[in-house]
Amino acid sequence: MRLLVLPGDGIGPEITAATLGVLRKSAELYGFPLEIREEVIGHASLQRHGTTVRPELLELARAADGLILGPAATYDFQDPAKGEINPSAFFRKSLDLFANIRPARTYASLPQKLGPFDLVIVRENTEGFYSDRNMAKGNAELLVTDDVVVSLRRVTRKACARIARAAFELARERRKHVTAVHKANVMKIGDGMFLDECRACHREFPDVIFDDLIVDAALAHLIRHPSRFDVMVTLNLYGDIISDMTSEASGSLGLGGSLNAGDDFAMAQASHGSAPDIAGRNIANPFSLILSAAQLLAWYGRRNNAATCVNAAAAIQRAVENAVAEGEITRDIGGRLGTKETGESLAQRLAREAI
């Protein structure tokens, strides 16, 4: 398996190093070849190359079997004309990574803020109110006058249909329940199209339970009774908000994995930002990127009939669960280990549990 790895800004290099240690150990234990190529993005690339993302990285990503993207200082990058490109949006758009798969689950040993749950957010990833990715050229947020802003949203039937299918296919592997989250009572045309496509897709998956909720009601139900949900499918902006909430409710954003997947490519990405205030202090939680890398392994393994990769992904997920249960974790979730030590401990646990 050939991976392009882009560590990013802030805590990115630290959590990426921990993640690569775990991946290398899993490759050794489960017997699959692993080739890693690291390149710079973000501030380091801007200083060295005059742009946060060099164009040649896209071809490297297309030639690889998967991409690991560390957190980038996205808010710092405001002017693409000055080379300040949002790396996440660049790869999501360029590689057509239309599905953002965000699992969230609770752990018995951590405080359960909303009670126990195990769910997945399937978020449309390429359009909606995201002004940097829903136009072929230009930006969909317009300053009409100094006091008037117009933001345009793009919703297409194709994007709605394929994200619905991704959700139903995933639900078949889980508890066979899909909930569509929308605001079709107000956004009647755009969200209405999304809901229509979800209902049409359901006809092809009669074994899967389907229901839908208006987004504000869905959040109320998440707070009241999160265990009712299995797979939640939704549009870009809603999914961004809900997935951060469910990750935090599971114990920490640092426990939320995130895979950006398309028909041909996939990118693992931590669910949190670059946290420059704690960069270089060896205290960041690496589990989000580690779990995201495990999702990437599983995606690659299923596509290529590589059982070794699927098994390695499952082993990493079990090892994280056991590490949390035994307190071999960073301080933000009640442990005593640093970033580096957490990664090393998890790699050692993989070796012990594989025996």
CB crowding 17-30: b at 16 or more within 10 Å, else e:
bbbbbbbebbbebb
Grouping H, G, I as helix, E, B as strand and the rest as coil, residue 27 is: helix
State the 10-residue block means of pLDDT for the chain, 355 residues long.
Answer: 97 97 97 96 96 97 97 90 92 95 94 92 91 73 93 94 98 97 96 98 98 97 96 96 92 91 96 93 97 98 96 97 96 95 97 83
- Say what the pLDDT of residue 112 is: 86
Residues 6+ apart with CB under 8 A from 141: 131, 149, 150, 151, 152
Distance in angstroms (rounded) separating the CA atoms of residues 280 and 14: 7
**What CATH number was assigned to the domain covering residues 1-98+258-355?**
3.40.718.10
- Can you spell out the DSSP letters for 228-295? G-SEEEE-HHHHHHHHHHHHHHTT-GGG---EEE-SS-EEEE-SS---GGGTTSS----HHHHHHHHH
- Say what the pLDDT of residue 74 is: 86
Distance in angstroms (rounded) separating the CA atoms of residues 54 and 74: 16
- Say what the pLDDT of residue 132 is: 66
Phi, psi (degrees; rounded to nearest 5) at 286: -90, 0
- Say what the pLDDT of residue 128 is: 87
**Distances from the Cα of 182 to the Cα of 101, 107, 208, 334, angstroms:** 17, 29, 19, 36
- Say what the pLDDT of residue 327 is: 95
Closest-CA residue to 233 (of 121, 127, 312, 340): 121
Q: Which CATH number fits domain 111-249: 3.40.718.10, 3.40.50.300, 2.60.40.10, 3.40.50.10860?
A: 3.40.718.10
Whether pTM exceeds 0.85: yes
- Say what the pLDDT of residue 342 is: 97
Tell me where in the chain the CATH 3.40.718.10 domain(s) lie.
Answer: 1-98+258-355, 111-249
Tokens coding 114? 């909303």
Pairing state of beta strands 141-145 and 148-151? antiparallel
Tokens coding 346? 């998890």
